[in-house]
């Protein structure tokens, strides 16, 4: 079973070394692999090239439909692992799209990288099967709020949120566009008992000016409720670009 990866600007697989830009591992040098396909459709998604292909009419604020052949590439788990190992990092971030849609092939890939610490970035709707779960050190879970445009019955799966709340490896990262979005976070925290120390609030934005402006009021909300603030370091360093 092959993996379906997103492509970088050269048309090759989006496998690269960088600094983790978000969440609890921000600033750490890592290898990244970006998988293609997603089961959700966020209107503000900054990686719509992983899912909004021609014929997909799910709404997105830019309205761009991407050519599937130009934005997807398949590799075997072994070759993907070989390319990751060649980057010389000891920590791997698997992102997407929604990586857990390819859990079987992903587990096979990680079997070739037994000495790497592994983070998976997920929207939190898909359960990781045991052969994959045993190889994961950290989950960066980003449940999607109403402003994402996803129906709550698709984006907020109760049994999955219960599971993430009780998994010490899982950090909850909520994208916030305006102060009123916090009401949803507080309601979810109350229902699922997310520990505040594992909750991050992150401003929605794909340029430094927007992030900084929103962080001015978002920082106060973090102080008030005991949540952690996540920046998006890669945006400040490299802009909204692939392979960074």
Calculate Rg over the CA atoms of the chain: 17
> What is the pLDDT averaged over residues 64-71?
96
> What is the pLDDT averaged over residues 75-84?
98
Side-chain half-sphere of 109: how many Cα atoms within 13 Å?
30
Give the integer Cα–Cα distance in Å for 58 and 41.
7
Among residues 12, 23, 71, which one has the least CA distance to residue 47?
71
Distance of CA 124 to the CA centre of its chain: 9
Which residues neighbour 127 within 8 Å (Cβ) at sequence distance 6 or greater? 100, 160, 163
Architecture of the CATH domain 3-173: Alpha-Beta Barrel (3.20)
The confidence score (pLDDT) of residue 85 equals 98
The confidence score (pLDDT) of residue 165 equals 98
């Amino acid at each position: 079973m092959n993996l379906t990866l997103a492509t970088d600007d050269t048309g090759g697989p989006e496998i690269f070394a960088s600094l983790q830009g978000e969440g609890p591992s921000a600033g750490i040098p890592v290898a990244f692999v970006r998988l293609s396909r997603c089961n959700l459709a966020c209107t503000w998604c900054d990686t719509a090239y992983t899912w909004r292909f021609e014929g997909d009419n799910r709404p997105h604020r830019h309205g761009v439909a991407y050519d599937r052949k130009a934005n997807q590439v398949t590799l075997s788990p072994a070759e993907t692992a070989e390319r990751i190992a060649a980057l010389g990092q000891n920590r791997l971030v698997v992102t997407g799209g929604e990586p857990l849609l390819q859990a079987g092939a992903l587990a096979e890939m990680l079997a070739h990288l037994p000495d790497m610490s592994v983070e998976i970035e997920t929207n939190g709707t898909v359960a990781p099967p045991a052969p994959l779960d045993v190889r994961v050190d950290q989950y960066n879970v980003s449940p999607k709020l109403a402003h994402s445009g996803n129906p709550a019955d698709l984006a907020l799966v109760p049994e999955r949120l219960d599971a993430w709340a009780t998994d010490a490896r899982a950090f909850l990262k909520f994208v916030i566009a305006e102060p009123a979005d916090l009401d949803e976070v507080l309601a979810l925290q109350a229902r699922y008992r997310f520990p505040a120390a594992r909750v991050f609030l992150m401003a929605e934005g794909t340029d430094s000016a927007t992030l900084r402006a929103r962080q001015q009021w978002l920082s106060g909300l973090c102080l008030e409720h005991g949540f952690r603030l996540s920046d998006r370091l890669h945006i400040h360093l490299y802009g909204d670009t692939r392979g960074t």
